[in-house]
Amino acid sequence: MTNATNEQGRLAGKTAIITGGTTGIGFETARQFIAQGARVLITGRSQDKIDSALAALGEDAVGVVANSAHISDLDNVAVAAEQAFGKVDILFANAGNGVFAPIPDVDEAGYDHQFDLNVKGVFFTVQKILPLLRRGASIILTASSVHTKGAPGGSLYFASKAAVRSFARTMAVELAGAGIRVNALSPGIVPTKFFSNSNVGEGAYGQFEEMAGKAAPLGRAGTPEEMAQAVVYLASDESSYVTATDLSVDGGWAQV
């Protein structure tokens, strides 16, 4: 679907950047943004993934190979976005992954890997794209419902997502004068390739998914489609009076 066929969409005429946009929540969000009339730039860590995603998304999407943990890659994203769009209305800083290990097994490399992508990467994504953002722009940061929880082996990942949630608060205050809103999205359990890219074994993740699903009032995992619908809301003018918040989309898991 092209923008010409959806001039009345909720994001009609808007431009968006989605980091980590080749799979899972990021890809589904790109698909829904385009369906709502936006043009989208996605990032991914390999050209093959970018090419595959662009083939599915169509002509209203462009892609850049980038690792959000590398600041030089984020400079390239900013250059590509300016060339493609000039100005940007929506930034979805979504790229991230998970490192899980008991405290005695965590080494410096694992610590740095987790915080470089999930924390440093999110901060500098915002910093590098900020000069391109129009007044009235919306920034959405992918946190996680785990930032309110504790579980064995989760120290690094859980803390990194707590930092992202904190970013949404402080950035919202700092950027309010520029008319820019900043919110966090906190998904619950959503089966995607995120977990195959982490160091969680399939069996261990299956046990965690079952436990979390049973604990949530809705009694199930979420879907990328449900997460993307929430991002569309935060990106749209429908949420014009929403900033600094944490939108928990987790079936109630973190709330009870």
Report the CATH number that the domain containing residue 193 is assigned in CATH.
3.40.50.720
Q: Is 205 a catalytic residue?
A: no
With CA atoms as reference, report the closest residue to 247 among 158, 139, 125, 143: 143
Domain total for the chain?
A: 1
From 111, 157, 205, 233, active-site residue: 157
* Mean pLDDT, all residues of the chain: 92
Q: How confident is the model at residue 9 (pLDDT cuts 50, 70, 90)?
A: very high
Domain residues for 85?
A: 3-255
**Rounded Cα gap, residues 131 and 48, in angstroms:** 29
pLDDT of residue 148: 87
pLDDT of residue 206: 63
Average pLDDT of span 10-25: 98
**Rounded Cα gap, residues 63 and 77, in angstroms:** 9
- What would the pLDDT profile of 208-221 be if each residue is shown by its tens digit? 667 667 778 998 88
- Number of Cβ within a 10 Å radius of residue 50: 21
248 — phi, psi (to 5°)?
A: -90, 115
Average pLDDT of span 188-208: 63
- What would the pLDDT profile of 42-88 be if each residue is shown by its tens digit? 999 999 999 999 999 999 999 999 999 999 999 999 999 999 999 99
User: Is the pLDDT score of 121 beyond 60?
Assistant: yes
